[in-house]
Chain A
Amino acid sequence: MEKICVKDISKSFGNKTVFYHLNLTINSGEIRCIMAPSGAGKTTLLRILMGLEDIDSGSISGQKGKRFSAVFQEERLCEYMTAIENIRLVTPCLSVKTVWQELDRLGLKDCANQIVSELSGGMRRRVSILRALLAEYDILCLDEPFKGLDNTCKEQVLEYVKQRTTGKTVLFVTHDEEEVLQLGAKKIMLSDMDTGVCQLC
């Protein structure tokens, strides 16, 4: 698969410059972890790559026509649907049994048929992670996916994510170095935003 090349992209929201001539390359089949302080534009970068935000200048190649899958900062689940229904909404080809088995692997067997608005924050998080992992995709974007999970649960989910993303192109936003190590991801540091020099480190 073609690599993703981000060339000299700039992005501002009003007077606030988020990126100024940002360059980075993401090779196919690798897990890249984007790290930066809060407000530095990690989520914006993911949104740009997914086609949810326009750039002010620059160019991006290699992502056109690719299928994306994502875990957003918020769960973005349909509150009126069950866990299984939420997952099958994006993967209608998967049987209920298969989805149920995968939910079981993340400890969600008992709440598979429960409306997600009745689930705890951690359960909802796991459902949204599973939805992203079960969807058919070429590039997976994970925006602080383990936020709100307790340590035991996080270990279990990290292991599951690692198994399912082997050989896949993954862009992963986090503040936690431990998560980067466990997933074996390569780091991208977004830095020097104010000086207008933002490069892949």
Chain B
Amino acid sequence: MRQSIEKREIRLWAVLFWLIIWQLASMWIDRDILLVSPIKVLFRLCQLVCAAAFWKTIFFTLSRIALGFLLAVLVGSVLAGLSSRYRLIYELTAPLMLTVKSVPVASFIILALIWFSSRNLSILISFLMVLPIIYTNVFGGIRSVDKALLEMAEVFRIPWRRVVRFIYLPQIMPFFNSACSVSLGLAWKAGVAAEVIGIPKGSIGERLQQAKVYLDTPDLFAWTLVIVVMSLVFEKLILVLVRICATWCVSVGGKRT
């Protein structure tokens, strides 16, 4: 029963219900500038999809946010590993992470705009948003690794590479998985917000900014929908990769039942 609820968190009928409410609300308000109908948004989206510029814009934003995310995963994981091994690195990293976590994203965006061009702003911002989440979770995962298993590995003299792969990674993976799940949405939100403020040419943020300037609500909704869909697809893709990695970690040999 519980499993069936978890597996079907979003039901089609519920989505349709809210779409109908949205349609009725837009019909009642009857002013596209305030609330455009879902049908018009869909129509606008179809128009956008047909243009080559749409895909270039998507590629521009996606590539930067994905790069920022992947860099944060890499740096966060390596730092977490080093921090759990060397107290000095942990002590050095702790205030940095606290600062990144506490400083408002808008401050980072403005500061980054002063320092650099806006073109690669979303890489830095998504990196900064994801880094502390990955670091904290992976560090927590490493700290929670079963000490008894590590002793077992020590007694049997299992080489460290195998210890990392078969003992550390499988136990860290749930932490890493939840960190990715949380931070992916955040990377998109913060990355696009940075683009809206920095307005790099050819980005989704620029399109949103234009929609704001020209009060083009259908465009605003259509691009927002694009962001939501891309965020979901990117999240699913990354989580599938993490799952594949987790399966690889425990496959010493032999089939499973």
Contacts and interface: CB of A to CB of B under 8 A. Distances in A.
Contacts of A74: 148
Interface in A159-186: none
B155 A52 contact: yes
B250 A113 contact: no
A84 B251 CA distance: 10
B253 interface: yes
A84 B256 CA distance: 9
Contacts of A76: 148-149, 151-152
Interface size class of B (residues with CB under 8 A): 20 to 34
A70 B158 contact: no
A85 B252 contact: yes
A82 B149 contact: no
Contacts of A100: 254
A147 interface: no
Nearest to A118: B257
B170 interface: yes
Nearest to A82: B256
Interface in A114-132: 114-115
Contacts of B255: 113
A51 B154 contact: yes
Contacts of B157: 67-68
Given A78-B167, A78-B170, A81-B166, A112 B155 contact: no
Contacts of A78: 149, 166-167, 170, 250
A56 B170 CA distance: 36
B156 interface: yes
Interface in B52-75: none
Contacts of B152: 70, 72, 76
B254 A84 contact: yes
A82 B253 CA distance: 9
Contacts of B167: 78
Contacts of A52: 151, 154-155
Interface string B238-257: 00000000000011111111
Contacts of A193: none
Contacts of B158: 89-90
A85 B170 contact: no
Given A52-B151, A80-B170, A89-B166, A135 B254 contact: no
Interface string A16-59: 00000000000000000000000000000000001110000000
Interface size class of A (residues with CB under 8 A): 20 to 34
A88 interface: yes
A96 interface: yes
Nearest to B165: A89
A10 interface: no
A110 B152 CA distance: 25
Interface in B146-188: 148-149, 151-152, 154-158, 162, 166-167, 170
A52 B250 CA distance: 26
B252 A89 contact: yes
A85 B154 contact: no
B254 A88 contact: yes
A92 interface: yes
Nearest to A99: B254
Interface string B130-153: 000000000000000000110110
B239 to A, nearest CB: 18
Nearest to A87: B252
Given A67-B157, A76-B149, A88 B253 contact: yes
Interface in B208-253: 250-253
A78 B156 CA distance: 14
Given A113-B255, A135-B156, 9 more contacts: A52-B151, A67-B157, A68-B157, A76-B148, A78-B250, A82-B256, A84-B253, A85-B253, A85-B254
Interface of A: 50-52, 67-70, 72, 74, 76, 78, 80-82, 84-85, 88-90, 92, 96, 99-100, 112-115, 135, 141
Across chains A and B, which 5 residue pairs bring their CB atoms closest together, nearest first? Answer: A84-B254, A85-B252, A90-B156, A76-B152, A113-B257
